[in-house]
Amino acid sequence: MTGIVIKSTGSWYLVRSLQGGQLYKCRLRGKFKNKGLKVSNPLAVGDEVTMELEGGEHQAVITEIKPRRNYIIRKSTHKAHHAHIVASNLDVAYLVVTLVSPRTSFGFIDRFLVTAEAYQIPATLLFNKIDLYDEEALAYMNQVMGLYERIGYPCLPLSAQTGEGLPEVQKLLTGKTSLFTGHSGVGKSTLVNALVPDLAIKTQEISSFSDKGVHTTTFAEMFEVEPGTYLIDTPGIKELGVVEMKKEEIGHYFPEMRALLNKCRFNNCIHINEPGCAVQEAVKKGKIALPRYESYLSLLQDEDSHR
Ligand code: GDP
Ligand code: ZN
C-alpha cells in the first residue's frame, strides 16, 4: 500500500492512503537515514511512502520512502546545527503579499524567490487585499506584477475577503501540492480558509489521531482541498534556510541574471564592479529592474556577514 504523509510529528505520522483515501497512523520500521542531509526528522509532509497494515484498524508501518522530487528545510532558530525537513514533493510555492496594510518589501519577495529557485520549486506571487487598493495602489500593483511576470513568475491579484480572484487561484491548485507562505498579516490564514473547504472538520479529523495529553511537535500540516490536491500552510519563510550559497551562485537564482552569466568577461564575476560585466550593463540599460539588482546586492552582503 502507498500513501502520502499529511502530518509529521516527532514520533508518528499520519498517512493518507493512495488506494482508497483512508487515514493511517504510522510509525517507521527500523532506522531511516536521509543520505547526505543533516536533518532531525526522517519524514516530512508530502513524502510518498510504502506501508504495511499493523494490528489496529487505522495503524500501519512505513517500510519505505520514495525518492523526493524536492524539499524545503528549516533551520532551528535556537539550536545552531538543527534543521528539519518542512515538506517535500512540492509543485508550487505561493507567496502571499500585500501592497497596503502591510506593504511587502521587494527584499522580502526576492528572498523568497531566490529560496524557491534554490530548492527548484516553481514560485507564484499572490497579491492579496486588492479590495483595499485605491487607483494609485492598483497601478503600482500592475507595475510590480509586470516586473515579476517578465522574469517568469506568475502573479495573481485577489481578495481573500471578497473572494475576487479566488476561482483563478483554485484552478491553479487542482491536482498539485502547493505551499503557502507569507508575512504575518497579509491574509494567508483567511486565504487558506477560503481555499480549503471544511477546513475545521478536516483539522478535527486529523487531530483525532493525536494522543491526548502527550506533547508532540508538529512540523507542518498538509490539507486536502480535494483528492490529489494538497495545500501546505507554513508560517514565515524567514527561517526557511536560504540554502547555503557561494557568492558566485547567488546570480544563478535570479533568472534574468542567469540568462547573462556566460556573457560576463570573468567567469567568477559577482556583478559588483568588474569590467565587462553583462549584468551591470543590463541594469544600466533597464533590462534588469533596479530593485531586483538591489535585492541581489543585499543577498551578497548577507553571505559576507555569514563568513
Ligand atoms: P495572516 O497573518 O497572514 O494569516 O493574516 P490573516 O488571515 O489573519 O489576516 C490578517 C487581517 O487581514 C485580518 O484582519 C483579515 O480579516 C484581513 N484580511 C485578510 N484578507 C483580506 C482581504 O483580502 N481584504 C481585506 N480588506 N482584509 C483582509
Ligand atoms: Zn558580471
Q: Which fold has domain 2-73+80-84?
A: OB fold (Dihydrolipoamide Acetyltransferase, E2P) (2.40.50)
How many A from CA of 94 to the centre of ligand 2? 30
pLDDT digits (tens, 9 = 90+) for 188-211: 999 999 998 887 777 777 777 776
Q: Is 26 annotated as a binding residue?
A: no
How many A from CA of 128 to the centre of ligand 1? 9
pLDDT (mean) for 228-234:
90
Task: Report H helices in the chain.
Answer: 106-118, 135-151, 166-173, 188-195, 199-207, 247-250, 255-258, 278-284, 290-305
pLDDT at residue number 240: 56
- The CATH code belonging to domain 87-233 is 3.40.50.300
Give yes or no on whether 2-73+80-84 and 247-305 have one common fold.
no
pLDDT digits (tens, 9 = 90+) for 137-149: 999 999 999 999 9
Pocket of ligand 1 contains residue 192 by CB under 6 Å: no
Pocket of ligand 1 contains residue 76 by CB under 6 Å: no
Ligand 1 atom nearest to CA at 162: 23
Q: Which fold has domain 247-305?
A: Ribonucleotide Reductase Protein R1; domain 1 (1.10.40)
- Statement: residue 239 has pLDDT above 60: no
What is the complex's ipTM, to 2 decimals?
0.98
Could you state, in order of their start, the residue ranges of all structural domains in the chain? 2-73+80-84, 87-233, 247-305
Which residue among 97, 133, 161, 190 has the greatest number of ligand 1 atoms within 8 angstroms of its CB, and so is best to mutate?
A: 190
How many A from CA of 166 to the centre of ligand 1? 14
Q: What percent of the chain has pLDDT over 90?
A: 65
Q: Is 232 annotated as a binding residue?
A: no
Task: Check the CA dihedral 163-169-175-179 and report its sign.
Answer: negative
Cell 489496529 -> residue: 56
Q: Is 128 annotated as a binding residue?
A: yes
